[in-house]
Every structure is written in structure tokens, then in C-alpha cells.
Amino acid sequence: MKSQLLVKRYAEGLAAALKSEEEYRTVSRELAEFAALLESHGPLNRAILRPFLSAAKKEKIIQDILLEQRASDKTSRFLLLLLRHGRLGILPSIVRDLPELWRTRNGIVTFEVRSVVPVRDAQKLRLEAELARLENRPVACRYALDPAVVGGLLIIKGNLVYDVSLKGQLERLKENIRER
């Protein structure tokens, strides 16, 4: 639980520090690349995340990597901040949570859309336009395949679930019959 609070705090701080969509895309891409590098390179991961190497050596290694990757100043400062506070281990979670926090901070509502088959691009455009009209502000949708959805869609916004699936309609019909 404490870890999730730290992730949220750091991700919110980073989202607040980002000034434009372009800067957000750059920093989030660079952080994702750095996290992937740490995960894919075992010796580097062990050297950076374990306490055996001095903080100065860890910082030098990270600065060299960031210089090689031509990372932006904001990305570099953020990664070094995580390192100095011993929080580099939560970087993958920050990378995972940052898009949602960035969208929320910019007034964009996020929906999760689940379906049993992939939603076609034309359907996505219509759905997103209708959701934006209903919300009266910009929306973003994350699409996922879910074999439990039998025909139609399951649309989730926070704790609200809009079930426009065949399975949901059958469940509602079953409840109506029971009530009579």
C-alpha cells in the first residue's frame, strides 16, 4: 500500500511538472525506455537497485546512460531524484500510472472499453465522439479484449460500469423476470 502511495505521489508530481503534450510524450517515452533497459539488463539492474554500489557511482552510471540516450533534462532530473531517494524500483509503476494522471490533470476522462473482438477504428471514432459528447469534455479510451463479454461492450469509467453487452442484457432480462 505504501508503495502505491509513493508511486502516485511521484507520478502526480511529474505530471504537474510537465508543461505540454509534447513534453509529456518525450518524458514518458524516455522513462519507459529507461525502465525497459533496467529490466532487460540484469547486471545493470542489480548494480543500480542494490545497496552495494555507492550513490555517487550509481548516479554516474545513470548520467552516462542518460547522456548516451540523449534524454531530456526533465527526464534526467526525475530519474536522479528517484535514485537519490531510493525509489528507482518504483519506476515501472510510475511509467504505468503516468498516462492516466496526465490525462486527468488535463481534463481528459479515461474509459476502459472491453469487448470479445477487437473494436474497429471507425467504431472507436464513433464511440469516442459519443462519449466526449456525453461527458462534454475530451475522452481517451483504453481498449482490451475480454472473453467474458458476450457480444457488445463493457465501458468502464472509474467505478461506473456501463454494460452494453449481450450478456448484460440477458442478466437484466433475467432480473426483470424474477421481479415479476
Q: Do 6 and 63 contact (CB within 8 A), yes or no?
A: no
Least confident of 105-114, 151-160, 170-179: 170-179
Segment 36-88, tens digit of pLDDT: 888 888 777 777 777 777 888 888 888 888 888 898 889 989 988 988 888 88
* pLDDT more than 70, % of the chain: 96
Same domain, 63 and 47: yes
Position 55 scores a pLDDT of 81
How many residues in the chain? 180
Cell of residue 172, nine digits: 437484466
Q: What is the CA radius of gyration of the chain?
A: 21
Same domain, 90 and 113: no
> 51 lies in which domain range?
2-104
Mean pLDDT, the chain, integer = 85
Please give the tally of structural domains in the chain.
2
Between CA 124 and CA 82 the distance in angstroms is 37
Same domain, 118 and 162: yes
**Range 27-36 average pLDDT:** 91
Tell which of 85, 104, 123 closes a domain.
104
More confident residue, 122 or 40: 122
Residue type, 175: E
Same domain, 100 and 127: no
Position 48 scores a pLDDT of 75
Least confident of 5-19, 21-35, 107-121, 162-176: 162-176
**Range 23-43 average pLDDT:** 88
User: Is the predicted pLDDT of residue 143 greater than 80, yes or no?
Assistant: yes
More confident residue, 41 or 18: 18
Tell which of 83, 104, 125 closes a domain.
104
User: Is the predicted pLDDT of residue 1 greater than 60, yes or no?
Assistant: no
Helices 42-49/21-40 angle, 10° precision: 100
Bridge partners, residue 156, by sequence: 112, 161
CATH code, 60: 1.10.520.20
Same domain, 17 and 49: yes
Q: Which of 100, 98, 93, 92 is nearest to 36 (CA)?
A: 92
More confident residue, 12 or 58: 12
Model confidence, pTM: 0.69
CB contact set of 31 (below 8 Å; sequence gap of 6+): 75, 78, 79, 91, 94, 95, 98
Position 5 scores a pLDDT of 85
